[in-house]
Chains A and B, each alone.
Chain A
Amino acid sequence: MPKREWLAVLAAVIALAVVLPACNALPAGSPLHVSNFTLNLFGKFLTYAILALGLDLLWGYAGVLSLGHGVFFGLGAYAMGMHLMLEIGTKSVYQTALPDFMVWNRVTALPLFWRPFYSAWFTLLAIVVVPALAALVFGFLAFRSRVRGVYFSIITQALALSAWLVFNRNEMNLGGTNGLADFKTILGFSLSAPATQRGLYVVTVLALAAAYVLCRWITRSRAGKVLVAIRDSETRVLFSGYSPVQYKLFVFVVSAVLAGVAGALYAPQVGIITPAKIGVLPSIEMVVWVAAGGRGTLVGAMLGAFGVNWIQSWLTTSYPDLWLLFLGALFMGVVLFIPDGVVGVAARLAQRLPRWPAALRHREMPGSEAATRTPTP
């Protein structure tokens, strides 16, 4: 990455991870005060931004549209949730070592697959490995048999539906429809304490920054070029001697891991994870974040995740009936009128304004780089 971009990332991290929490720590009367609620909301949006980065890598760069990313998000979130459930221990309503919902369901012993989640290290590992493995198996089967385009999208949508159905079942011992909730502590810190939430928020910002750097590194690498080539003409890539399957599988796994990490950060901040987060609708909503922000540009994906969710949290509280109409209109409008998203529109506008300072006008726009960038060492 060029130095300028490093600086931009650093500035963003400082603004989000230092300034905002500092504002949060100010007394409530101060004009610069940021409430706990807002900070928490931002934390949630930032986890979505991590997921959107992965989705953009997959769709915007490799041209593979997944309508099942909610599943990977859910796997990460459930892994974290299981650890948090076990951390509650005997402080639960029924004061048994078992999570409450198991007591309701008359489960007497902790299921075997829950046990390793007592360990925080194992949980951290699972957050990465479980979505990665799921994506590896699913992606291998799909890409190997050259399921592509809309076929792949539909298969992933079916995956989301099946996962939703399965996670809803009580006999899976994952809390059924109610999911996992009522977390008390994380690594011993109380989740209801504002300081813990602030800490989680900072971790989220750092994770997002790391995810951005990772994605940027991938897109700038040779592999990234191959991904874009696959998006533009898979057959030609194949005939040039590359195996698209491996590249697609790689990027699918990376994006699933990012989704898993996002989910793992989501669960403790929001305090609940239910199957409703992994179904067909949430999975496809994630796609519209990327589309609205501007696919093929990493900044766009993050902005989209942030912006759409901000609008959602405003609309669903003020005008709940309008949210789905807005979402539908957003899908249609973005696809019809601004296929390159808000960032694309901004880039075009910037190019049209001749009297802007040269530095601004020629600022690197990630969206236009594939076409206009000259190679830099």
Chain B
Amino acid sequence: MIRALALVLFVAWLTAPAVSHAAAPAADVERALADLAGADADRRDAAVATLGGTGDPKWLAFLGALRDGNVYARKVGGKVEILVGGARSTKGDQDLIEIKAPYDGAALGVVPVAGLSEVAADRRLRIAIKPFLEADETRVQLKDPDPGVRRGAAIRLGNQADPAKVAVIEEALAGEHDRWVRHALLEALALTQLASTDAGVRTAAAHALGGLHSLSATAALVRLAGEASVSAGERAAAAAAIKKIERWTILTTAVETAFQGASLASILLLMALGLAIVFGIMGVINMAHGELMALGAYATFVVQNVFRERWPQYFDAYFLVALPVSFLVAALVGVVLERGVIRRLYGRPLETLLLTWGASLIIQQGLRLWFGAANVDVASPSWLSGGVAVMAGLTLPWNRVFIMALAAVSVAAMYWLLFRTGAGLRIRAVTQNRPMSACLGVRAGRVDALTFALGAGLAGLAGCALTQIGNVGPSLGQNYIVDSFMVVVTGGVGKLAGTILAAAGIGGLNKGIEPALGAVFAKVAILVAVMLFLQRRPAGLFAARGRNAEA
């Protein structure tokens, strides 16, 4: 705390001369303002440089207003006065505008627009203004309360590698406590120093970059290692750093692949869970499962729109509402399907398959007619955008982490429901022996409806989750449905564990071989793998055994 205070004082002392210099518009500032209103482009550029060079936030704000075309000039007694415009209004047939002083923004009253002439910011002037505002922006961002913003600014500084910014970086570094922002700042510092003219500084920077596992430094390091004009020691340092970075990259790639595999597995699991429950309990292959997911996704879209219109201040919360809503919408449609038509076709799985396929076409086309054939835009809530940095060069996106968590929660809830509740008991009883359960007073029809609603609801939930990682369109379901069937077939119908294992296996295998084969051939390879797997276990990992097995 004391250190921080001391630092603030130090900084204040450092910048004090500049501030005091600009506090009262000195002669050159006055002249610069006058030049701005003139027509000479070179003098206008120089004026911008003068004003921007003060580094004073108030002048920078003025430059911002100038860039936005919000600066005006008027002649007062033969002298040109520069003003900043404010709110506009109309009175009678006159357009009025509020005017302020250029430096401190002191209000100077409201005047007719007609009496002012705009100081036009042409392309050249805007280009002249840009670096000053950007430098200022970076400085402001480095003090932003959000670590993500600070980190972004630090990374930008590293990309610029401007030796003039070393002081800025060091200043930010001194006050920074966040691990990842510090990392980015150190990286930026080293990258900047790598461009230094001093060989010693460069060597140290190369060492530092190696230690930081800076992937973005690779290009610069490679250039340095191959540079003939520098000493052998420096080249060796660069080469060593490259090696270190490469090894680290292998590690991060491995972790990333594992994460992607787990992420795909959890998506597959979310989709296949409902499918597997319905198939396992009712022997119904629900081809409309994908369209129920699409319904969930569109329900999310609608909830989002409602929030955007009615309660924009709570927009981030829309997703929490969308989760149960999409579950309910899909479950409702599921119940209608089951009670309406599927119920009539028990014991005829192939017919049910065709029936649900027909339903899927109708739902799909209905969505297309209602919402249009184009993909709709579902925005991520702010708490799901961005990611968590786990190691240098590897950030795990929040939406993927969220889906993994959602899959885990869904599985846990399913286990709880099936094995800890009365409804679950009845579901399991009907699964094992439908006629006997019916004899013992279990209302099998109601259990079927409940099960189907549950499976459909899980599809809706999966659809809601998918809005965060993929496109939402009428054919959303088609893209995933075959994959989830693969999971169900591989997992078998006996136990939930089969579905979980199959999802993990297929997801992991897919992402594992994707770098080598490409996405398409990886998918084909998965099919071949499933076929071969079924050679050994024709009914999946956990088949129904004994009496329950298909006669």
Q: Is the pairing of A and B real? A: yes
Which of B89-97, B323-331, B437-445, B528-536 faces chain A? B528-536
Interface 1/0 per residue, B496-536 and A, CB below 8 Å? 00000000000000000000000011011001001110111
In the complex, which residues of chain A have a beta carbon less than 8 angstroms from the beta carbon of B550?
149
**Interface size (A, Cβ < 8 Å)?**
44
Instruction: Please report the C-alpha to C-alpha distance between residue A158 and residue B534 in the assembled complex, in whole angstroms.
Output: 14
**Interface size (B, Cβ < 8 Å)?**
43
Give the contacts of B474-493 with A (CB-CB under 8 A). Answer: 478, 482, 485-486, 488-489
B386 within 8 A of partner (CB)? no
Nearest-CB distance from A359 to chain B (Å)?
34
- Find out whether the CB atom of B482 lies under 8 angstroms from the CB atom of A158: yes
Give the contacts of B150-170 with A (CB-CB under 8 A). Answer: none
In the complex, which residues of chain A have a beta carbon less than 8 angstroms from the beta carbon of B482?
154, 157-158, 161, 280
Given known A-B contacts A280-B478, A328-B362, A155 and B534 have beta carbons under 8 A apart:
yes
Nearest-CB distance from B297 to chain A (Å)?
19
Instruction: Please report the C-alpha to C-alpha distance between residue A336 and residue B358 in the assembled complex, in whole angstroms.
Output: 11
Instruction: Please report the C-alpha to C-alpha distance between residue A156 and residue B229 in the assembled complex, in whole angstroms.
Output: 64
Partner of B360, one of A291, A328, A336: A328
- Find out whether the CB atom of A335 lies under 8 angstroms from the CB atom of B489: no
DSSP majority for the A interface? Answer: helix
Instruction: Please report the C-alpha to C-alpha distance between residue A65 and residue B361 in the assembled complex, in whole angstroms.
Output: 19
In the complex, which residues of chain B have a beta carbon less than 8 angstroms from the beta carbon of A8?
none
Give the contacts of A279-299 with B (CB-CB under 8 A). Answer: 280, 284, 287-288, 291
Partner of B358, one of A63, A149, A155, A331: A331
Instruction: Please report the C-alpha to C-alpha distance between residue A339 and residue B358 in the assembled complex, in whole angstroms.
Output: 14
- Find out whether the CB atom of A329 lies under 8 angstroms from the CB atom of B531: no
B306 within 8 A of partner (CB)? no
Interface 1/0 per residue, B339-356 and A, CB below 8 Å? 001001100011111110
Nearest-CB distance from A174 to chain B (Å)?
13
- Find out whether the CB atom of A166 lies under 8 angstroms from the CB atom of B520: yes
Partner of A235, one of B345, B366, B551: B551
B396 within 8 A of partner (CB)? no
Partner of B350, one of A65, A169, A336: A65
Interface 1/0 per residue, B308-345 and A, CB below 8 Å? 00000000000000000000000000000000010011
Instruction: Please report the C-alpha to C-alpha distance between residue A168 and residue B523 in the assembled complex, in whole angstroms.
Output: 13
Interface 1/0 per residue, A302-344 and B, CB below 8 Å? 0000000000000000000100110111111111100100000
- Find out whether the CB atom of A325 lies under 8 angstroms from the CB atom of B353: no
A35 within 8 A of partner (CB)? no
- Find out whether the CB atom of A325 lies under 8 angstroms from the CB atom of B538: no
Partner of A287, one of B354, B368, B534, B538: B354
- Find out whether the CB atom of B350 lies under 8 angstroms from the CB atom of A284: no
B285 within 8 A of partner (CB)? yes
- Find out whether the CB atom of B524 lies under 8 angstroms from the CB atom of A162: yes
DSSP majority for the B interface? Answer: helix
In the complex, which residues of chain B have a beta carbon less than 8 angstroms from the beta carbon of A108?
none
Given known A-B contacts A165-B520, A331-B354, A331-B357, A155 and B362 have beta carbons under 8 A apart:
no
- Find out whether the CB atom of B354 lies under 8 angstroms from the CB atom of A324: no
- Find out whether the CB atom of A144 lies under 8 angstroms from the CB atom of B535: yes
- Find out whether the CB atom of B354 lies under 8 angstroms from the CB atom of A335: yes
In the complex, which residues of chain B have a beta carbon less than 8 angstroms from the beta carbon of A335?
345, 351-352, 354-355, 358
Partner of A150, one of B341, B350, B361, B530: B350
A22 within 8 A of partner (CB)? no
Partner of A330, one of B358, B489, B532: B358
Nearest-CB distance from B493 to chain A (Å)?
10
In the complex, which residues of chain B have a beta carbon less than 8 angstroms from the beta carbon of A146?
538
A125 within 8 A of partner (CB)? no
B216 within 8 A of partner (CB)? no
Nearest-CB distance from B384 to chain A (Å)?
30
Interface 1/0 per residue, A67-99 and B, CB below 8 Å? 000000000000000000000000000000000
Query: Can you give 30 A-B contacts (C-beta < 8 A)?
Result: A141-B532, A141-B535, A145-B536, A151-B489, A151-B538, A153-B350, A154-B486, A154-B488, A155-B531, A157-B482, A158-B482, A161-B482, A161-B527, A162-B524, A166-B521, A280-B478, A321-B368, A325-B362, A325-B365, A325-B366, A328-B364, A328-B365, A330-B358, A331-B355, A331-B358, A332-B341, A335-B351, A335-B358, A336-B355, A339-B351
Report B's interface with A, CB cutoff 8 A: 285, 341, 344-345, 349-355, 357-362, 364-366, 368-369, 478, 482, 485-486, 488-489, 520-521, 523-524, 527, 530-532, 534-536, 538-539, 550-551
State the 9 A-B residue pairs at the shortest beta-carbon distance, nearest first.
A331-B358, A328-B361, A328-B362, A332-B358, A324-B365, A328-B358, A145-B538, A162-B524, A335-B355
